């Protein structure tokens, strides 16, 4: 059983949903999804097909070879891809959001012309280099250092949980370039080629989002031209504005959309299972205890849908949305866990078997309140914004 979107949306977004639903039904059957999860891998061939459909162009302005920034369509694409797990949704985000949206919002004109057409064609993938071994939510305290030497910037330090660094072309890396300055006046974003001399990547084993390894990344005298600074050399020490800007607001929507897609798949699978599984002479969906779990899960799912699409529309219209994206990330990630565990209970012992997708969706959803800014960090952000009267 497929739960369809019931909210009003543009015709082209609905058409995109239908196209992606057909695509994943045909190209990503359960046995392939299981194989990707077990191998910690993702299908390059299918991603190339999605890119050829124009999917990666959804966050790139038309002047640079894109389709124009369409956040609502891009969020809908994440939902539909995440319904079959992270193996397609993840690489799409690494290209269209980590790459396309960040460069479109923050890149220099030279960077936009060099990178955005390739991102729109799905030819480049980015990874975030934000967290560090001792730095999580307090990103302004990053310890990875960059020092300017003539016409170069030299980087030393380490990043942790750098998901996708093993396959990325660039690491969108936050560094400290003015150690004696106040924290917010010391931050710079740099585009580090993942294969640059001095970059060492070490996989970290983890149980969720297994389309790839997460990684430790070490920088040992990585020397890059000043043009590698995101926005160009004039943006040295001005990374705080980017950290608090639109691109990272939208990043919360990416995580929320992934969590929503996983949760929707869990409800669909549990709902279908409950119609087929017979106990005590009738389908278990006819037993009140099971029916109530499913109704509660589906009701919460609909609330998640409303929050996600409201925030996405605000972002699309370039209206202030820091509060709405934080609330959406907080609510959907935490609701996704509740939904997944309820669906797991409905499916019983079968939910612990990889013969069903629920086993993977539970693992993946358990991590969503952590990734992309933890739930407690979202609460801190919201409290601070409300104190400021926003």
Q: What single string gives the DSSP state of each residue in 232-297?
A: -GGGTT-HHHHHTSHHHHHHHHHHHHHHHHHHHHHHHHHHHHHHH-EETTEEGGGSHHHHHHHHHH
Same domain, residue pair 108 and 136 = no
Per-residue pLDDT tens digits for 265-307: 999 999 999 999 999 999 999 999 999 999 999 999 999 999 9
Q: Is residue 6 part of a domain?
A: no
Residue 257, in any domain of the structure: yes
Q: Look at residue 21 in the predicted model and tell me its pLDDT.
A: 97
Q: Domain count of the chain?
A: 3
**Within-domain flag for 2:** no
Rg (CA), the chain: 21
Could you give the CA distance from residue 273 to residue 347 in angstroms, rounded to a whole number?
7
For the domain that residue 213 is a member of, what is the CATH number?
Answer: 2.40.110.10
pLDDT tens digits along 48-77 = 999 999 999 999 999 999 999 999 999 999
Are 250 and 363 found together in one domain?
Answer: yes
In percent, the amount of the chain with pLDDT more than 70 equals: 100
Residue 247's pLDDT band (cuts 50, 70, 90): confident
- Domain boundary residue among 237, 270, 290? 237
Distance CA 25, CA 278 (A): 27
Residue 1, domain member (yes or no): no
The pLDDT of residue 388? 82
Please identify, among 237, 254, 276, the residue that sits at the C-terminal boundary of a domain: 237
Q: Domain containing 100: what range? A: 11-124
Q: Which residues contact 244 (CB under 8 A, 6 or more apart)?
A: none
Average of pLDDT values for 235-253? 90
Q: Return the closest-CA partner of residue 214 out of 226, 202, 222.
A: 202
Q: Give me the CATH number covering residue 81.
A: 1.10.540.10
pLDDT the model gives residue 243: 85
* 72 and 16 both lie in a single domain: yes
> Helices marked H in 64-132 — which ranges?
71-82, 86-95, 102-106, 109-120
Residues 41, 165 within the same domain: no
Quote the pLDDT of residue 91. Answer: 98
Angle (CA) 312 94 250, round 5°: 20
Same domain, 250 and 232: no
Residues 276 and 310 in one domain: yes
Residue 377 scores a pLDDT above 80: yes
Residue 111 has pLDDT above 80, yes or no: yes
Q: How confident is the model at residue 237 (pLDDT cuts 50, 70, 90)?
A: very high
Using an 8 Å Cβ cutoff, are 153 and 175 in contact? no
Per-residue confidence (pLDDT) for residue 246, from 0 to 100? 84
Model confidence pLDDT, tens digit, residues 8-40: 899 999 999 999 999 999 999 999 999 999 999
3 located within any domain: no
Mean pLDDT for 312-332 is 96
358 pLDDT above the threshold of 80: yes
Question: CA–CA separation, 98 vs 105, rounded Å?
Answer: 11
Q: What is the CATH number of the domain that holds 349?
A: 1.20.140.10
Across the chain, mean pLDDT equals 96
Give the pLDDT of residue 248: 80
In the chain, the percentage of residues whose pLDDT exceeds 90 is 92
Per-residue pLDDT, 215: 95
Is residue 79 one of the residues assigned to a domain? yes
Q: Are residues 268 and 370 in the same domain?
A: yes
Task: Output the CA angle 92-96-100, nearest 5 degrees.
Answer: 155
In the Cβ-directed half-sphere of 43, how many Cα atoms lie within 13 Å? 23
Last residue of a domain, one of 78, 108, 124: 124
pLDDT of residue 244: 79
């Amino acid at each position: 059983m497929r739960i369809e979107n019931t909210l009003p949306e543009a015709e082209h977004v609905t058409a995109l949903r239908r196209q992606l639903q057909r695509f994943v039904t045909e190209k990503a059957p359960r046995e392939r999804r299981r194989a990707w999860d077990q191998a910690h891998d993702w299908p390059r061939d299918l991603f190339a097909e999605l890119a050829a459909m124009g999917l990666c162009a959804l966050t790139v302005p038309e002047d640079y070879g894109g389709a124009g920034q369409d956040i609502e369509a891009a969020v809908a694409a994440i939902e539909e891809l995440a319904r079959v797990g992270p193996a397609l949704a993840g690489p799409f985000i690494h290209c269209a959001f980590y790459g396309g949206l960040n460069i479109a919002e923050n890149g220099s004109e030279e960077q936009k012309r060099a990178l955005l057409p390739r991102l729109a064609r799905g030819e480049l993938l980015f990874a975030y280099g934000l967290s560090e071994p001792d730095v999580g939510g307090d990103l302004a305290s990053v310890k990875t250092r960059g020092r300017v030497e003539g016409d170069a910037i030299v980087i030393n330090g380490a990043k942790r949980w750098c998901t996708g660094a093993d396959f990325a072309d660039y690491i969108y890396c936050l560094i400290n370039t003015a150690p004696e300055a106040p924290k917010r006046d010391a931050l710079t974003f740099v585009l580090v080629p993942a294969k640059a001399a001095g970059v060492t990547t070490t996989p970290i084993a983890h149980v969720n989002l297994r389309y790839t390894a997460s990684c430790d990344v070490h920088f040992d005298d990585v020397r890059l031209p000043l043009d590698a600074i995101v926005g160009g050399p004039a943006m040295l020490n001005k990374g705080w504005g980017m950290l608090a800007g639109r691109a990272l607001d939208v990043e919360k929507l990416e995580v929320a959309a992934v969590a929503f897609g996983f949760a929707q798949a869990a409800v669909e699978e549990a709902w279908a299972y409950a119609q087929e599984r017979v106990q005590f002479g009738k389908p278990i969906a006819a037993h009140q205890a099971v029916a109530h779990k499913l109704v509660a899960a589906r009701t919460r799912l609909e609330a998640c849908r409303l929050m996600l699409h409201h925030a996405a529309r605000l972002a699309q219209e370039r209206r202030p949305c820091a509060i709405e994206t934080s609330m959406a990330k907080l609510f959907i990630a935490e609701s996704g866990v509740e939904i997944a565990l309820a669906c797991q209970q409905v499916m019983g012992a079968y939910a612990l078997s990889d013969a069903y997708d629920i086993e993977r969706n539970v693992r993946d959803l358990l991590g969503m309140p952590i990734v992309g800014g933890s739930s407690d960090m979202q609460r801190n952000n919201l409290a601070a914004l409300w104190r400021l009267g926003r």
